[in-house]
Amino acid sequence: MKVFLLVISMVGITEDNDRLYIGSQMVLNQEMTEEQCAFMANDSQWSKWFQNEYYEMELSCHEKGTELKGK
Please report, for the chain, the start and end positions of each structural domain, with discontinuous segments joined by +: 4-63
pLDDT score, position 71: 47
If the chain, 71 residues long, is cut into consecutive pieces of 10 residues, what is the mean pLDDT of each piece? 95 93 93 98 94 93 80 47
pTM: predicted TM-score of the whole model, two decimal places: 0.83
3-class SS string, 30-43: EEECHHHHHHHHCH
CA distance 20 to 9: 10
∠ CA 13-69-28, nearest 5°, is: 90
Q: Which H or E run includes 24?
A: strand 19-32
